[in-house]
Chain A
Amino acid sequence: MPVPTAVDPQRTPASQPAMEDKPMVVSKQKTDVVCGVPTQVVCTAFASHILVVVTQFGKMGTLVSLEPSSVAGDLSRPVVSTRVLLGQDEPLIHVFAKNLVAFVSQEAGNRAVLLAVAVKDKSLAGLQALKALIRLCQVW
């Protein structure tokens, strides 16, 4: 009797109906070397949020919520407020998060962004490269 292997794309559990053509939740991922460190980015689109994962250690890391503020400021550039949901809450992470994904929030019709960042070097040097990588995973 053949033993079913774990990696069998044809095998589905008994209760599973036919696989859907397009997933309900759209994601894109990319891997690249940023400042010498292999980095993975995954962007996932939800109705209310864009989930952006930027990881170098195989972890989700610090979780930051970026929300466009309803406070009327300069209408051409809405204010974005950041909140650390999980991990070390320090000024640098707020600045880094804003610089990294504010553009995502604005381009995605002012949606909130949930950023999971596990990056060793949060300097300006890597920031542009990370933004470019996020851009490659555009799901908005």
Chain B
Amino acid sequence: MEGPPAAAEVSLHNFSARLWEQLVHFHVMRLTDSLFLWVGAAPHLRNLAVAMCSRFDSIPVSTSLLGDASDTTSAGLAQRLARKTNKQVFVSYNLQNTDSNFALLVENRIKEEMDAFPEKF
């Protein structure tokens, strides 16, 4: 008789895109119930936010774990991805550009990758 099923292997995925003349890198680590997404131009980990769906609110609950809590880019992105994937989502967004249009471009690029490679998320 087998024990509890082993969790599926952790999936690691890297991709990059040129957005507004800037080369943006993405690193995705997918676990069964959690997702870790890193976005940056250089390998810095300046902040970290997490979001997860809550049965008490249609908007996933999110919080900042590391870095400047007043910058809500990571937390906002984590919230939207948590809602989309129904997983606990960790996001570290490390781009200097604070233009909301740029952030939207980044987010759309992530969604594009999610549609192209759903097994990586």
Contact = CB atoms under 8 A, between A and B. Distances in A.
Interface residues of B, number: 40
A76 interface: no
B59 interface: no
A106 interface: no
A138 to B, nearest CB: 16
B33 A59 contact: yes
A93 B110 CA distance: 34
A2 interface: no
Which A-B residue pairs are the 3 nearest by beta carbons? A58-B32, A58-B7, A23-B14
A24 B32 contact: no
B107 interface: no
A15 interface: yes
Contacts of A123: none
Nearest to A12: B116
A27 B10 CA distance: 12
B76 interface: no
Contacts, number: 109
Contacts of B88: 59-60
B115 to A, nearest CB: 8
Q: How large is the interface on A (under 10, 10 to 19, 20 to 34, 35 or more residues)?
A: 35 or more
A40 interface: yes
A24 B43 contact: yes
A46 B112 contact: no
Given A27-B27, A60-B36, A16 B17 contact: yes
Contacts of B18: 17
A47 B6 contact: no
B34 interface: yes
Contacts of B15: 16, 19
Contacts of A12: 116
Contact of B90 (A13, A19, A29, A60): A60
Interface string A123-139: 00000000000000000
A49 B45 contact: yes
Contacts of A16: 15, 17
A27 B109 contact: no
B27 A58 contact: no
B112 A40 contact: no
